[in-house]
Amino acid sequence: MATTAHRRYAEIMRDVEDLINDHIVQQQRGTSERSKLKLLVPSVGKFFTPLALEEAFNFQDEKRRISSRRFVPPSFNDIRLTLNSAQLISLARGGPIELVTFDGDVTLYEDGQSLRDGNPVIQRILKLLTRGTHVGIVTAAGYTESEKYYARLYGLIDAVVDAIAAKELEDPKLVVLGGESNFMFEFNYNAEHFLQHIPRAHWLLDDMRQWQEEEIQELLDVAEQALQECIESMHLSAEILRKERAVGIIPSTSPWSQKFTREQLEETVLVTQQILDLSRVGKKVPFCAFNGGNDVFVDIGDKSYGVLCCQRYLGGIDGSRTLHVGDQFLSAGANDFKARLACTTAWIASPAETVQLLDELAVHEADLEKA
């Protein structure tokens, strides 16, 4: 039974892989609307690489024993991890990977925490840097001071400093892009807190230079009013927090404050998103409204711009040589979703999965070297 199930699942993966390959051919010709996949899934976007789905399924089936289950069909997580593996295999095969970008919360560390000493992902990131892969941390945290980013990432930054001092690492390319796509800092051994602020003139995309400050603030005004209406209509125990390039709601400091429910957070995101979409300024200035787990924020720009800015600043890296790793890819209130427009992506569900993902990438690369 398991052998038959495995063969049938593998055949399905091979068929989908063929559909994707056909779509890529049409994409290269500029006629992607004619692909069979586009007809079946009209919302399908751009593929930066092929996806080795059959090979990835074989890899995951060996680990998760999907074909051996009698009563539990392939789950969402089975498919998500198979797609991750397919992307890793294709990237390793077409290598080298030049840039890996990471979300912060729930990707590198637990929600609301910091990247502390001893976090197992640190050694994996150091290996990327050692082999010359650029690393970017593209986070919603919108700080203007290097000290605050250091406080969130000190475990990694200190490890990089130690590796340089021990001559194990030379000139690592590590950048932090905060507020989705608004504040860039680059690792600098001689800078305060080892992070040097990079002026926007050095990394802004051409279309981002067209955004007017008055329109940015107008959009944040509209978003703030929408958030206030959500607070009042749902009686949320929340406070408005306005930043230079973002506005959001955070839990109230009142001793009678109640934790937000997931439904309240999602409703707030969708209401605010719709109001901004219908506004005049929302059609002119790109923005991202997202559920942060215990808050809701609206940022100027989004992670597609964040990844593209990293690619530009680091020398014009192509999306097919870039991997973005994040935990928020559901279309409603998920800020990693837009990164799919800029590069290949991997959808993880915890910091532990990020470690497993990087270890798996190393396995696929090692297998190719042996072949």
Nearest to 313 by CA among 196, 224, 214, 161: 196
CA geometry: angle at 366 spanning 361 and 367, to 5°? 100
Residues 6+ apart with CB under 8 A from 360: 84, 85, 88
* 327 closest CA partner among 60, 121, 80: 80
- 350 vs 362: CA distance, rounded Å: 19
The catalytic residue among 105, 299, 302, 327 is: 105
Asked if 103 is an active-site residue, the reply is yes
Instruction: Identify the active-site residue in 78, 103, 302, 327.
Output: 103
Phi, psi (degrees; rounded to nearest 5) at 300: -75, 135
Whether 15 sits among the annotated catalytic residues: the reply is: no
How far is it, in rounded angstroms, from Cα 246 to Cα 243? 5
Q: Which one, of 262, 222, 224, 263, lies nearest residue 243 by Cα?
A: 224
β-strands 287-291, 296-300 pairing:
antiparallel
What does the block give as tokens for 144? 């203007």
Supply the residues annotated as catalytic.
103, 105
